[in-house]
Chains A and B, each alone.
Chain A
Amino acid sequence: MKNLFFLIIIFFSFQIIAQQQINGIVTDSKGNPIFGANVYLDGTYDGSSTDEKGVFSFQSSEKGIQTLVISFISFEEKRITGNISTFKDIKIKLKEDVNTLDAVIINAGTFEAGDNAKVTALKPLDVVTTASALGDFVGALQTLPGTATVAEDGRLFVRGGAAEETQIFIDGMRVFTPFTPTANNIPTRGRFSPFLFKGISFSTGGYSAEYGQALSSVLSLSTIDEPIQEKTDVALMTVGVGVGNTQKWDKGSFSINTSYINLAPYLEVFPDRNTWNKPIQAASGEMVYRHKLKEDGLIKLYGAFSYTDFNLIQQDINFENGFRFGLQNRNLYFNGSYNGFLKNNWTLSSGFSISNDNNHINLGDDLVKNAESAAHIKMKLKKRFSNRFKLFFGAEYFLTDFNEEFISTTNGSSSLRFQNSISGVFTEADIFFSKKLATKLGVRMEHSELLNQTTVSPRASIAYKSGDNSQFSIAYGQFYQNPLTNYVKFDNGLKAENATHWIANYQYVKNKQILRIEAYYKDYNNLIKFDTDQATIYSNYNNNGFGSAKGVDLFWRDNKNIKNIDYWISYSFLDTERDFRNYPTAATPNFASKHNFSLVTKHWVEKWKSQLGFSYSFASGRSYTDPNQAGFLNQQTKSYNSISFNWAYLISQQKILYFSINNVLGTKNVFGYNYANQPNMNGVFERQAIVPNADQFFFVGFFWTISDDKKSNQLDSL
């Protein structure tokens, strides 16, 4: 017993003797002491926090090889392994974590919205509460700088580019026919409902090497990974009805969203300038199935179907009784993606998309039937070497099959068909030199089978954080895009069109305020030209077109200075000329206006349980050709003005009444002029103004969500 007692004594005293002193100092990379860093031996209780001078000191009875861990919030954790006796008077420098909100962002050219964005120019709700947008993604994006108001078209015209120069992606996969087809002067809408998406990245230039076949802009949407709850949504609108449902289970979920739109009742009450034989009727549905795999893998399947049908007579100066236009369109789109984490910080993303688009078009007495089937397959591997160095590379393949039949009552019939495949490889590296300086370098190579052409497009951007709230960035890139189907279908000896972007960006972000100034220069080459009025099978085509665009985009958003009001202002200055298509000389195209301005405000009125939205857009005049005068695109229309207003009233937590009116003041806007093909008796070409089909648009909807928690509502889908 005595012995035992001794042993214990010895054991304890041995422990005391064996205590090691561990001490040192922790600083940042500039040598400033870090106060409050956590320093400890991994897996033990032994440790301490640093004091004001960055000094730490503690005792440990551990022996041999140990790991000393030093961690502090917003810094990269450091681990030092060595013999415990060497942990004396050590000087530790911690590197700043570049993965924090206040680190520099490589953002020249890009607007982000969604939960993952570090600086959100647009918040998820904005897409749907912007007064002029009517619940359309694209409509909300048109309030951002860099876009032009082309109100009769509805698509995205970015920085002097035509609408076709913008490509849209869902979960990284190309959407081949993103817009619903419409008649002349009726703006189109995006096919997808904002309901199923969680994030948007809208790039007005200088985008990643991951994206090709877009000369001007890329809009990338990501679907929700995991819906929050099961629910049913019902929408009753003046223009139709909508039903949606979400189901969830352990490993996955399923969402479906369907709608039926019929404009007949609306047109009965508010007739427009057309004679409708068959008012617009559209049925559409979208669904997303998500399945979670082990190790955070995720499979998503997205499918969309839509059917549109209408027939109308539009006034036309060249047709005494108007021009009849009818269209039946059927569109199917399917997209699947897999995302998974592999070993050693590798991530694999792969996916495919297929689309089938069928049109049946009545042009006066002629009939055009066409069908486009397209597919996209892509695979991307990403490796995170550290927070400071990430690399990805991938390969993709596009296949398009187009056929068209033209049945004319006067000129006989013709048909044509072509196939095109494009293969591409890309790689890009993200490098952070520090929290303040970062760069992105990428290159993309594409080969088009139809054009028998290989292109190489380098992309680069660099960003520097100049202060706590401000940063500068610049970007450069080469972009190639195959000529439009409309031209390639008649001539396959053409080459890809090319654009070079130079962008300089300054951004200031502070406390719910964002200021963004961006200047750019774009140089277009190898644009398609043809020698007839319209692109026909008899025209001669070449790649001799060229052009340029330069300008400044301003964006200011403030959610702080005026109580309960969130607003943003966009202004774009654009100076562009191009010589392309049927242009006899270089001129400012008719879709470009020099000045574009928008103001969007949102005002929450607590007392009324209402959100009031207001938006104003302005665009300076657009060019048109007056054949009574000398020259090409020699005249300018008056400027465009429109004020829109919306009101969302929360009847109860799950019921919303929504009201909106576009162009409140009923401003008579003119987009251009159509001139008669032949002069009248006095030798003057008569003209007809191209105006909207209706000056104003009213919308009333009732949205009801049924879910277990009785809380969520459709405010985010309006």
Chain B
Amino acid sequence: MKKLFLCAIMLFSLGVSAQSQYEKGMEKAFSFWKEGKITEASNLFERIANAEKKNWIPAYYVAYVNIISSFGIKDEAALQAKLDKAKLHLDKADELSSNNPEIMIMQALRNTAFIAFDGQKYGMSLSMKNSEIFAKAIELAPNNPRVILQKAEWDMGSAQFFGKPIEPYCKDIKRALELAEKEDQKENFEPSWGKSRAEQVLKQSCSK
């Protein structure tokens, strides 16, 4: 009985320490990211993804860090290498959690990074892909603030290009902001970004 009890305690404490290791690791990675230590953040997320073989979230963040930091890169080889890495981890995340709108819109963001680099080369094929991704994601998660925000930003871009009114998309972004504010505290570091981006877009494009 005593032994059993001991075993239970040990198992429990192991469990707790594993859990906290994940949390500690993720928090550390986020703090690297905040400090601008992109490589360290990406590396740590990658190590966590490698240890947590069944969790899509760290892999998602490896992709996220690499995609966000690829905007503005001038060297195509460097861009491609970063986005290849992002793709590898997005595929991993997708395998662990298929039809996940969060992962889908990250794929769209990766495409956008390519288009931003060379619209002529990548614009035609990838922008069609993005339209398809957004259509599917909004169907799966009509009330996800990040999906609404990303889709609205995307549509806004093409509306601006064709000189069409952007007001309907401003409405969507406002809605995304409201949903983001109401969003429950996510467990396990599930994606919860979007609030500040929505505020920024509203200020930039919709305040006129």
Which residues does A use to contact B, with CB under 8 Å?
4, 7-8, 11, 35-36, 38, 40, 42-45, 47, 49, 69, 71, 73-74, 100-102, 115, 120, 123-125, 198, 228-229, 511-512, 559, 566, 609, 650, 652-653, 708-709, 711-712, 715-716
Contacts and interface: CB of A to CB of B under 8 A. Distances in A.
Given A100-B81, A101-B81, A228-B132, A43 B50 contact: yes
B77 A125 contact: no
Greatest chain A CB density within 10 A among B9, B10, B43, B158 is at B43
B126 to A, nearest CB: 9
A125 B10 contact: no
Interface in B117-170: 118, 120-121, 124-125, 127-129, 131-132, 135, 158, 162-163
Contacts of A49: 39-40, 43-44
Q: Nearest 4 A-B pairs (CB), nearest first?
A: A102-B77, A36-B39, A101-B77, A38-B43
A115 B51 contact: no
A100 B43 contact: no
B47 A47 contact: yes
Contacts of B46: 38, 71
Given A101-B77, A711-B127, A716-B124, 18 more contacts: A4-B2, A8-B13, A11-B10, A35-B39, A42-B50, A49-B40, A71-B46, A73-B81, A100-B80, A124-B124, A228-B129, A228-B132, A650-B162, A653-B158, A708-B135, A709-B131, A712-B131, A715-B124
Which applies to chain B's interface (DSSP): helix, strand, loop or mixed? helix
B127 to A, nearest CB: 7
Nearest to A511: B74
Nearest to A99: B84
Nearest to A123: B121
Contacts of A228: 125, 128-129, 132
Given A36-B39, A100-B81, A123-B120, A45 B131 contact: no
B59 interface: no
A45 B121 contact: no
A470 to B, nearest CB: 14
Contacts of B6: 4, 7
Contacts, number: 90
B74 A36 contact: no
Nearest to A7: B6
A101 B50 contact: no
Contacts of A229: 128, 131-132
B124 A125 contact: yes
Interface string B10-21: 100100000001
A114 to B, nearest CB: 10
Contacts of A43: 50-51, 53
A120 B76 CA distance: 13
Contacts of A125: 120, 124
Contacts of B51: 43-45
Contacts of B48: 45
B9 A8 contact: yes
Contacts of A559: 120
A225 to B, nearest CB: 12
11 contacts: A4-B5, A42-B50, A45-B25, A45-B51, A124-B125, A511-B74, A559-B120, A709-B128, A709-B132, A711-B131, A715-B124
A71 B49 CA distance: 14
A652 B120 contact: no
A438 to B, nearest CB: 16
B82 interface: yes
Contacts of A708: 135
Interface residues of B, number: 41
Nearest to A606: B161
B196 to A, nearest CB: 27
Given A228-B125, A609-B162, A715-B124, A73 B80 contact: no
B9 A566 contact: no
Contacts of B162: 609, 650, 652-653
B85 interface: yes
Contacts of A715: 124
Nearest to B125: A115
Contacts of A8: 9, 13
Nearest to B37: A49
Contacts of B127: 711
B121 A38 contact: no
B59 to A, nearest CB: 14
A102 B176 CA distance: 40
Contacts of A74: 77-78, 81
Contacts of A712: 128, 131
B43 A36 contact: yes
Given A45-B51, A229-B131, A512 B118 contact: yes
B131 to A, nearest CB: 4
A120 B129 CA distance: 21
A711 B133 CA distance: 13
Nearest to A604: B120
B128 A120 contact: no
Interface string B68-82: 000000101110111
Contacts of B85: 73
A101 B118 CA distance: 15
A49 to B, nearest CB: 5
A43 B50 CA distance: 6
Contacts of B43: 36, 38, 47, 49
A45 B21 contact: yes
B77 A36 contact: no
Nearest to B39: A36
A120 B21 contact: no
A100 B82 CA distance: 11
A40 B80 contact: no
A307 to B, nearest CB: 31
Nearest to A48: B43
A268 B85 CA distance: 59
Nearest to A42: B50
B120 A101 contact: no
A385 B5 CA distance: 53
A608 to B, nearest CB: 11
A553 to B, nearest CB: 23
Interface in B3-35: 5-6, 9-10, 13, 21, 25
Contact of A73 (B21, B47, B82): B82
Nearest to A43: B51
Contacts of A609: 162-163
B131 A4 contact: no
Contacts of A653: 158, 162
Contacts of B74: 511
B159 to A, nearest CB: 9
A317 B13 CA distance: 102
Contacts of A711: 127-128, 131, 158
A554 B62 CA distance: 43
B104 to A, nearest CB: 14
A715 B47 CA distance: 44
Contacts of B53: 43
A698 to B, nearest CB: 26
A45 B55 CA distance: 14
A708 B48 CA distance: 40
Contacts of A42: 50
A123 B5 CA distance: 69
Contacts of B81: 73-74, 100-101
With most chain A CB atoms within 10 A of its CB, the pick from B39, B47, B48, B135 is B47
A47 B49 CA distance: 12
